Structure 1
Amino acid sequence: MRKIAGTVLLGLAAAAAVAATFLPFSELLIRLAPGQPQTAYVTTGWSTRFGATEDEHGPLFAIPIVLAAVAVLAGIRWRKVAYAGAAALAGVTGMLFVYLLNAISFHQEGNVAIDPGLEAGFGNGIWVLVVAVVLAFGAVVVHPDD
């Protein structure tokens, strides 16, 4: 039973981590000029979009997340590898969270003169990634010993 539960949790963690890379990690709504409508600036694991324009140099946050998800999946066989994968996923998620927190704080506080109505915040992708980390560590706990 523990083997099945561990396998399911590791599979869900890996799937959630990869799915999170396609969801917005951060969202910024900004007016470029007074009286203009707000434009969305959205960052995912693979791309950055400003309105309808996609930045040709995407952030590629997804690469370490996908690699950590692969390690999580490899942990189905070995508990130590599952733990390493969960730790890698937690590390990547933590670093991304801090990076986005700094970027969001800068835009909320540093650019009030540009757009007093500016809105910046986390997208749902970061929260799905946090859930993936919780699932991965839950899988390590129930994973049968080697």
Structure 2
Amino acid sequence: MRLLSAGLLFLAAAAAVTATFLPLSELLIRLTPDQPQTAYVTTGWSTRFGATEDEHGPLFGIPAVAAAVAVLVGVRWWKVAFAGAAALAGVTGMLFVYLLNAISFHRQGNITIDPGLEAGFGNGMWVLIAATIVAFGAVVVHPDD
């Protein structure tokens, strides 16, 4: 069981870190009726509008990576594995609610500008949710110390 738990904890930590580099939210918006839609993409480390990258990135990746480190340290101790999984769940939940509010705001606030607006979660958010589930699965099979 220790090997299975360690493998799952490693997988969860790797997925959580990887998720920070994937799009967490994506918005396709047309600023004027005669222009094509432009992508507004947020990752754990940057925000891009088309080809322009915001020099002040959101840094959502920092708490996710910190939680992933706690998950990895949990390979040795069950309590730390549980704390790491809980931290990852907290980061994921906080980010989910924040992005849900931002997506909803963009949809409501820009419908008059671009009725064809598309806004939603990116693959990174779903990978982060999966990492949280895997981390708790690892806690369940982790041998008690």
| TM-score interval for Structure 1 and Structure 2 normalised by the shorter chain | over 0.9
CA RMSD across the alignment: 0.5
Distance 1:120 1:31 in 2: 12
The CA deviation at 1:113 is 1.1
Matches for 1:1-146 after TM superposition, within 5 Å: 2-146=1-145
Following TM superposition, the consecutive aligned residue runs of length 4 or more in structure 1 with deviations greater than 3 angstroms are none
Q: Which residue type is aligned with residue 129 of structure 1? A: L
The CA deviation at 1:114 is 1.2
- Taking every aligned residue pair, what percent have the same amino acid on both sides? 80
Residue aligned with 2:48, SS: strand
Q: Which residue type is aligned with residue 115 of structure 2? A: P
The CA deviation at 1:37 is 0.3
Q: Deviations over 1:31-84 (max 9, x none)?
A: 111110000000000000000000000000000000000000000000000000
- Number of residue-to-residue matches in the alignment: 145
Which TM-score applies when normalising by structure 2?
Answer: 0.99
Gaps in structure 1 of 5+ consecutive residues: none
Q: Which residue type is aligned with residue 26 of structure 2? A: E
The CA deviation at 1:110 is 1.9
